[in-house]
Amino acid sequence: MSEVEGSAVVVYGATGHTGRFVVEELLRRGITPVVSGRDGARLKEMWGGLWVRPATVDDPDSLDRALAGAVAVINAAGPFAVTAGPVLEAAVRAGIPYLDVAAEIEANVGTFEAAREARVPVVPAMAFYGGLGDLLVTAAMGDWTAADEVHVAYGLSSWHPTPGTRVAGEVSHDRRGGRRVRFTGGELEYHDEKPSEEDWAFPEPLGKRAVVAGFTMADVVTVPSHLEVAEVQTYMSVEAARDLASVDTPAPSVDSSGRSDQTFVVDVLVRAGGVERRASATGQDIYAVTAPLVVEAVQRILDGRFRRAGIASAGAMFDAADFLQSLAPHIMVELGH
């Protein structure tokens, strides 16, 4: 197959754990996927009945061939420090929207910088980490355009990282020279302070749980990209942080649908002038729910339900409250709890 017909969306990284969910979600919605990545044999083995276009990030011509005739591209191939730049550049050359599911903070910063002049929609971190938190914060703020503090707490029952997550984490660690990062005083700051533990009152049924404070996620890039806020702090449940830190934690154990039994609650608290607003989301399997997040974003861009061309986070690109409500039953959202 060489020529795509109709509206086709390229999934780069279609053989990966998250990429599989993305392809299946496109198919479920009746959107034609074009599967791409560096391993042509594996692509054909997994997706032989679909449009298969192998490409590598060190070969721009192969990326151009992969994107030819498509209406958008979803980059699901980490580490995004390696893939985001080349795939974004190919999307810009093709004149089509670019979305990725990057949780790597430095990669997201790089995408915002690289796409400043882009004339096509570009949405980085359109995933569980970065995108979901940004949507929840934006919806919680409502008519506020600024806040004194933003807090995003992740209550994961466990975290069995995929091999891709492990590699991305190593790349981020190396790029920072082993230092930690936070968003304070209106800017990203690298530091050597050790994280601390505290209790967080999650909505029921999770309730009060111990979390690691200063467990910084991509929300420190997405939220300040469009909201005036001085402090963005993120937290991770102690159990999940320990799972991620242990080299002995296995990859996700999945059922016949490919989903794990991991559950999550994402709880957001924003403060401005002594007033608090909240929002939360619950669901199962952080990798699986990334698919409806990014595919809903693609669908809204193709339908014209987006706010700007150029680069923007999820909360800036879409109507946050409406977007969140559309994610049911994959993700259940409560605003103002």
Query: How would residue 278 be classed by pLDDT, with cut points 50, 70 and 90?
Result: very high
The overall average pLDDT reported for the chain is 95
Q: Is 49 in the same domain as 102? A: yes
Q: Is 168 in the same domain as 239? A: yes
For residue 322, being part of any structural domain is answered with: no
Q: Is 156 in the same domain as 262? A: yes
For residue 58, being part of any structural domain is answered with: yes
Q: Is 148 in the same domain as 230? A: yes
For residue 206, being part of any structural domain is answered with: yes
Q: What is the arithmetic mean of pLDDT over 254-268?
A: 92
Q: Is 95 in the same domain as 206? A: no
Q: What confidence score (pLDDT) does residue 10 get?
A: 98
Query: How would residue 290 be classed by pLDDT, with cut points 50, 70 and 90?
Result: very high
Q: Is 154 in the same domain as 92? A: no
Domain that holds residue 30: 8-128+291-317
In tens, the pLDDT along 119-178 reads: 999 999 999 999 999 999 999 999 999 999 999 999 999 999 999 999 999 999 888 888
Q: What is the arithmetic mean of pLDDT over 298-319?
A: 97
Residue 6, helix vs strand vs coil: coil
Contacts by 63-69, CB closer than 8 A, 24 or more apart: 63/87, 63/89, 63/90, 64/90, 64/93, 64/94, 66/10, 66/12, 66/34, 66/36, 66/90, 67/10, 67/91, 67/93, 67/94, 67/96, 68/4, 68/94, 69/3, 69/4, 69/8
* pLDDT > 90: percent of the chain: 92
Q: Which CATH number do you get for residue 138?
A: 3.30.360.10
Q: Which CATH number do you get for residue 101?
A: 3.40.50.720
Per the structure, the count of domains in the chain is 2
Copy the structure tokens of residue 227. 């909201």
For residue 49, being part of any structural domain is answered with: yes
For residue 3, being part of any structural domain is answered with: no
Fill in the amino acid letter for 291.
A
Q: Is 183 in the same domain as 272? A: yes
Q: Is 18 in the same domain as 89? A: yes
Q: Is 57 in the same domain as 184? A: no
For residue 323, being part of any structural domain is answered with: no
Q: Is 38 in the same domain as 154? A: no
For residue 233, being part of any structural domain is answered with: yes
Q: Is 20 in the same domain as 157? A: no
Cα–Cα distance list, 315 to 43, 124, 130, 156 (Å): 33, 11, 10, 23
Query: How would residue 1 be classed by pLDDT, with cut points 50, 70 and 90?
Result: very low
Does the pTM surpass 0.75? The reply is yes
Q: What confidence score (pLDDT) does residue 97 get?
A: 98
25 pLDDT higher than 90: yes
Copy the structure tokens of residue 53. 């276009």
For residue 28, being part of any structural domain is answered with: yes
Query: How would residue 68 be classed by pLDDT, with cut points 50, 70 and 90?
Result: very high
CA-based torsion, 23, 29, 299, 2: positive or negative: positive
Phi-psi region of 185 (alpha: psi -120 to 50; beta: other; left: phi over 0): left
Q: What confidence score (pLDDT) does residue 204 get?
A: 84
Query: How would residue 4 be classed by pLDDT, with cut points 50, 70 and 90?
Result: low
Q: Is 177 in the same domain as 303? A: no
117 pLDDT higher than 50: yes
Cα–Cα distance list, 331 to 38, 291, 293, 325 (Å): 31, 11, 9, 8
2 pLDDT higher than 60: no
